[in-house]
Amino acid sequence: MTTDRRIFIGAAVAGAAAIGAGLWWRGLSAPYVAAADRLTSPLPPRPETSDLVRFATLGANGHNTQPWRFSERADGLAIAPDFSRRTPVVDPDDHHLYASLGCAAETLAIAARARGLSGEVVTAGPEGLAMALRPAAPEEGALFAAIPERQCTRSVYDGAGLTSGEVHALAAEADVHGVAAIWREGAATEPILDLVIAGNTRQMANPAFVAELREWVRFNGAHAARTGDGLYAAASGNPTAPEAVGRLLFDAFFRTEAENDRYARHIRSSAGVFTLVAPSDDPAGWIAAGRAYQRMALRATAMGLRNAFVNQAVEEPAMRADLVSLLDLGAMRPNLVFRVGRAPPTPRSLRRPPEAVID
């Protein structure tokens, strides 16, 4: 066989393999694309319970476990904790679980009001929340429009700052629920970064933390679409791979130093960092923190801003105590920490369908 012919056959085989791999990946991502489209389709003018619940589930939630159950009540909906979806290592007292219920409740309230339903929270506590949905004048604003767009964007931002007007507009959303939003920017974010890195270093040294996180990673689009929950690798800026390969890559490359470097780049490229502090350190307060975060994230989205949590500074008790001193919080508990800035969107996280979360 001539050299030319060998080169030609080699190129043809490589080309066919590349096309095959491309088709295979398209096949893997097709269910993901379909699920993402279903999830974010517009809220009908006269929504049914399942439409409202679909919108509610677009709220942020820890590890995307979606720890909620929805049920109809006489005058509205109840959102109860689903303790089968706890993350006991990263969230031993269920603080994040209740904050996640708050994120869903706030999203539901904003969606309901846009469709002429009152959406007021009647009770909030260890049992979850009850929300009244009585006829009311429709209020369809920027926060409602931002619901399907909002996401946690875990990437490097463009380094530009926020105006004081922008910072105040965001903090005002937390104030609606009596939650303080403390802003730090520029050099003042460095001590927070130190706590994030110290917290992350502790978490990465804890095999139970790494195992819990790994359980919730979804390694490719088909995997994410099959479960409808968890942390889709591409949404965290990581490569996708077949599940078995993804687990091997996770074990090989998920390393403390690389993660700490990533957090340093993330925080230093952000405009600044918000810490949320709720008025009480109990499920009602944690729910309020989640509601405040969700409003701020929606307002940020409406303003063309992105955000992502850096909660390592509040998840490890020792770092949380240091953050209390740093921000001079006295007896108050810092609930959630997130950075804000500008960046293109990343692939979105999926949710389970309403039927899976309605009793």
Among 52, 109, 217, 308, binds ligand FMN (CB under 6 A): 308
Residue 154 sits in the site that holds ligand FMN (CB under 6 A): yes
Q: Residue 250's CB: how many other CB atoms inside 10 A?
A: 17
Residue 55 sits in the site that holds ligand FMN (CB under 6 A): no
- Report how far residue 111's alpha carbon sits from residue 50's, in angstroms, rounded to the nearest whole number: 12
Among 43, 52, 62, 233, binds ligand FMN (CB under 6 A): 62
Among 60, 101, 104, 343, binds ligand FMN (CB under 6 A): 60
The single-letter code of the amino acid at 54 is R
CB distance 119 to 109 below 8 Å? yes
- Report how far residue 214's alpha carbon sits from residue 225's, in angstroms, rounded to the nearest whole number: 17
Give the closest residue to 289 by CA, choosing from 348, 332, 230, 341: 332
Residue 57 sits in the site that holds ligand FMN (CB under 6 A): no
Give the closest residue to 146 by CA, choosing from 308, 304, 317: 304
The residues in 177-236 that bind ligand FMN, with binding defined as CB under 6 A, are 231
Q: Minimum Å distance from CB 134 to ligand FMN?
A: 28
Among 152, 167, 179, 233, binds ligand FMN (CB under 6 A): 152
| 140-178 b/e (C-beta count within 10 Å ≥ 16 → b) | eeebbebbbebbbbbbebeeeebeeebbebbbebbeebe
Q: At what angle do helices 190-204 and 256-268 cross, to 10 degrees?
A: 160
Stretch that binds ligand FMN, among 40-48, 111-119, 129-137, 149-157 (CB under 6 A): 149-157
Question: Rounded to whole angstroms, what are the CA distances from 209 to 213, 216, 316?
Answer: 6, 11, 11
Q: Minimum Å distance from CB 330 to ligand FMN?
A: 23
Q: Residue 67's CB: how many other CB atoms inside 10 A?
A: 26
Residue 63 sits in the site that holds ligand FMN (CB under 6 A): yes
- Report how far residue 227's alpha carbon sits from residue 64's, in angstroms, rounded to the nearest whole number: 11
CA atoms within 13 A on the CB side of 239: 11
Residues 6 or more apart in contact with residue 172 via CB below 8 angstroms: none
Residue 155 sits in the site that holds ligand FMN (CB under 6 A): no
In this complex, which beta carbon is closest to ligand FMN, that of residue 136 or of residue 264? 264
Among 151, 155, 275, 307, binds ligand FMN (CB under 6 A): 151
Question: Rounded to whole angstroms, what are the CA distances from 272 to 42, 61, 293, 316?
Answer: 32, 22, 15, 21
In this complex, which beta carbon is closest to ligand FMN, that of residue 77 or of residue 313? 313
In this complex, which beta carbon is closest to ligand FMN, that of residue 96 or of residue 320? 96
Q: Build a one-symbol-per-residue string for 339-358: x at contacts with ligand FMN by CB under 6 A, - elsewhere.
A: ----------x---------
Q: Build a one-symbol-per-residue string for 267-306: x at contacts with ligand FMN by CB under 6 A, - elsewhere.
A: -----------------------x----------------
Q: Minimum Å distance from CB 64 to ligand FMN?
A: 3
Question: What are the φ and ψ backbone dihedral angles of 130, each rounded to 5 degrees?
Answer: -120, 135
Maximum pairwise Cα distance, the chain: 81
The residues in 87-126 that bind ligand FMN, with binding defined as CB under 6 A, are 96, 99-100, 103
Residue 311 sits in the site that holds ligand FMN (CB under 6 A): yes
In this complex, which beta carbon is closest to ligand FMN, that of residue 64 or of residue 220? 64
Q: Minimum Å distance from CB 8 to ligand FMN?
A: 47
Number of residues near ligand FMN (by CB under 6 A): 19
Residues that bind ligand FMN (CB under 6 A): 60-64, 96, 99-100, 103, 151-152, 154, 231, 290, 308-309, 311, 336, 349
